Structure 1
Amino acid sequence: MNKITSYQLFTITFIFQLGTTIIFGFGGTAGRDAWIGELISSALGVVIILVYTTLMGMNPGLSLVQWFPAQFGRWIGTPIAFVYPLVFLYFVGRIIADIRDMVSTTLLNNTPLILITGLFALIIAFCLYGGAQIIARLGELFLPIVIIIFSIEIILLFGSGVMHIKNIQPVMENGWGPIWNVVYPGGVTQSFGEAIVLAMFWPEVKTPSKVMKITVISTVLSGIMIACLDLFAISVFGGVFSRFLYPLYTLLSLISIGKFIENLQMFGVLYFLMTALLKSVIYMFGALKGIQQLTKMKSYRSLIIPSCLLSLILGMTMSKNITEHIYYHHFKILLPYVSVPLHLVLPAILLTVTWFRQFKK
């Protein structure tokens, strides 16, 4: 069987961590200091990634859902492990809802929502039939495009003369409070804690010894890139940055060079669709592979269509509008009651139990 190369692991990790943040922006509630919050989040994200990769090293050859039965025992570990695939399916539904709201409000106003989301779910299903290797190749394909678009965006923004350093000042006008509010729990879990799903891919990597190094490098680089995008948006909008739902999309609409190079919002949509697609496929693979391993199925392929349909239904029904989707479901429910326990608390407990058992031996 073909294994995932180190470079392929880097591409899928990097793009996964950019995720939908690349278009929504990060830490709007921190205002001008959002970029500081992102840098702190990525530093703490490195610590979280080290916990995950340490668990991988202490459970060689096992995936995320196999860690818990191996350390907690079958009767306790298996029910806990089953929560992860179910939550991954829910996360795919959330990304589909993001697509529904973003594309319908910015580009295709009169297109039926089910057509947009249905096509997206169909593409996810198609990618899953190829397995982990095809997902890794998708990362190889997307990474150069993302880097090229990012580079062009920087050049055109500087060329347009819309960026002003004075808009970034004053730094930390309201102290550490607003910054810490965006760092925890949202900042450390949204991009970096969610990367726990990649533990479903790590047993497929050719050189497991490089997983920790590659994942840490990806975390640092993705954090820097998001912080840079926040800085660009703040240097243009100043304190108004926090009022935009899609600040990085709006930023592209301001690019104007000689009244010839204008209306580049399509770059933003392309960003969003590529990162959202790869993140969805990774989540769905993690969910189906996890169910397969926990139920001892021969293949997960029979689960692809039902699971994609379930996530599609979730994406169409979980919220009535973008405000409910983000400000209520995400901040009030998902972060404190799902992300913190699954991404921070359970891995910490598992690491403690694993270390204690190995020390005892």
Structure 2
Amino acid sequence: MLNKISSYQLFAITFIYQMGTSIIFGFGGSAGRDAWIAELVSLCLGLLVIMIYISLMRFNPGLTLVEWFPAQLGRWIGTPLAFLYPIMFLYIVGRIIADIRDMVSTALLPNTPLLIITLIFTVIVAYCVYGGIEEVSRLGELFLPIVLFLFCIEIVLLARSGVLHTRNLLPLLENGWQPVWNVVYPSGITQSFGETLVLAMFWPETKHTDKLMKITVYASLLTGIIIACFDVLGILVFGNMFSGLLYPLYTLLSVISIGKFIENIQMFGALYFLMTALLKSVIIMLAAVKGVQQLTKMKSYRVLIIPACSISLLLGLTMSQNIAEHIYRHHFEILVPYIWVPLLLILPMLLLVVTRFRRMIK
């Protein structure tokens, strides 16, 4: 059942997965007009983190993320550590459902019950997960040109609207490097780039594993450059106000005005957000159920889809009361330092050290 994902499909799902919800929330707002610098620095360091993941894949050929730990640390230590990843995946899908809940109810459908919004999204996720990695790969193959086309159209429309002011980018590093570094570590490295570890659940199923590193690096470069471009566009339009906007890239579309004919095209932003959020949720949910299947030696992961999606839906509805609590408390104070840093940075680095040490002994 291997060799399902082509090189183009791997590039597509990697790029759209890494874009995720950053395409609507923006990145590095706390760095102000230097947010784009923080993104480029995060890209450089994030590529080093991705190299660690790919090294682990090469040291454990044919094994997925959750199989690395029992293979290197033994069943009694490795299996409990590996189970932490499916649990984290369910939590992250719950966070994306909460993102959908807040964004759609705030900006698009304010009078629609939250349960209806989140339930419809979760049902679509479950349906796509049921199709397996082949269907997910085709979905990414379809979404990639649409996202890139919308991005190019947005740049053209903003330029024609006369709202881009280069003076808003200056002065660079007005407050020094400290605000930039505060964005870069730990959230900048883990968001998008550290999260790429989820795709290690599917790397053994690619047709050309020898090209995996090149494809992943190219996709990550494109992700980092486009997010930096979004930040630059937001700063060119809003200046210092960029750091205070909740949905800066969505708000960016509201300023487009050409001949009083092309105006208020926020649906571009909605398409961005829904496509990338959907594909990211499907990939993470599929990784969660396949991880549990592999660790418990179940015959099929499909029996786990409804329970797993139900857990994520419950989390998405209950983890926060409002958007401020969801982003500033749960993301920056809980998710990043206590979940992402240990599971996306510390454990993979320790596993790489153990793996290399065992190879040296042999």
The TM-score range, normalised by the shorter chain, is over 0.9
Instruction: Note the C-alpha offset of 1:186.
Output: 0.5
The answer as to 2:285 corresponding to 1:296 is no
Match of 1:127 in 2: 128
Match of 1:312 in 2: 313
Write the mapping of 1:20-169 to structure 2, written as runs, cut at 5 A: 20-169=21-170
Instruction: Note the C-alpha offset of 1:205.
Output: 0.3
Match of 1:205 in 2: 206
The answer as to 2:240 corresponding to 1:239 is yes
Secondary structure at 1:104 match in 2: helix
1:163-192 Cα offsets, whole Å, 9 max, x none, are: 010001011000000000000000000111
Match of 2:180 in 1: 179
Instruction: Note the C-alpha offset of 1:25.
Output: 0.3
CA distance in 2, matches of 1:129, 1:357: 38
Write the mapping of 1:273-284 to structure 2, written as runs, cut at 5 A: 273-284=274-285
Instruction: Note the C-alpha offset of 1:360.
Output: 1.1
CA distance in 2, matches of 1:197, 1:58: 17
CA distance in 2, matches of 1:237, 1:169: 13
CA distance in 2, matches of 1:68, 1:212: 21
Instruction: Note the C-alpha offset of 1:359.
Output: 1.2
Instruction: Note the C-alpha offset of 1:22.
Output: 0.6
2:27 partner amino acid: F
The answer as to 2:328 corresponding to 1:327 is yes
CA distance in 2, matches of 1:47, 1:133: 29
Identity between Structure 1 and Structure 2 (%)? 69
CA distance in 2, matches of 1:358, 1:3: 30
1:87-113 Cα offsets, whole Å, 9 max, x none, are: 000000000000000000001000011
1:113-152 Cα offsets, whole Å, 9 max, x none, are: 1111000000000001110110000100100110110010
Question: How many residues were matched structurally?
Answer: 361
CA distance in 2, matches of 1:276, 1:311: 14
CA distance in 2, matches of 1:220, 1:51: 16
Instruction: Note the C-alpha offset of 1:316.
Output: 0.3
Secondary structure at 1:129 match in 2: helix
Match of 1:9 in 2: 10
1:29-72 Cα offsets, whole Å, 9 max, x none, are: 00000000000001111101100001000000000000000000
1:13 partner amino acid: T
RMSD value, Cα? 0.6
Match of 1:192 in 2: 193
CA distance in 1, matches of 2:286, 2:40: 29
CA distance in 1, matches of 2:202, 2:7: 12
CA distance in 1, matches of 2:154, 2:11: 23
CA distance in 1, matches of 2:330, 2:106: 20
Q: Which runs of 5+ in 1 are unaligned?
A: none
Match of 1:216 in 2: 217
Instruction: Note the C-alpha offset of 1:353.
Output: 0.4
Instruction: Note the C-alpha offset of 1:76.
Output: 0.1
1:305 partner amino acid: I
Instruction: Note the C-alpha offset of 1:3.
Output: 1.0
Secondary structure at 2:355 match in 1: helix
CA distance in 2, matches of 1:78, 1:169: 51
1:271-325 Cα offsets, whole Å, 9 max, x none, are: 0000000000010011000000000000000010111111001000000000100
Structure 1 consecutive aligned stretches of length 4 or more whose deviation exceeds 6 Å: none
Instruction: Note the C-alpha offset of 1:80.
Output: 0.1
CA distance in 2, matches of 1:94, 1:123: 16
Secondary structure at 2:262 match in 1: coil
Match of 2:286 in 1: 285
1:157 partner amino acid: L
CA distance in 2, matches of 1:259, 1:312: 41
TM-score, normalising length: structure 1: 0.99
2:186 partner amino acid: P
1:204-233 Cα offsets, whole Å, 9 max, x none, are: 101111111111111111000000000000
1:311 partner amino acid: S
2:292 partner amino acid: I
TM-score, normalising length: structure 2: 0.99
1:95 partner amino acid: I
Match of 1:257 in 2: 258
Match of 2:360 in 1: 359
1:3 partner amino acid: K
CA distance in 1, matches of 2:137, 2:34: 35
2:331 partner amino acid: H
CA distance in 2, matches of 1:263, 1:255: 7
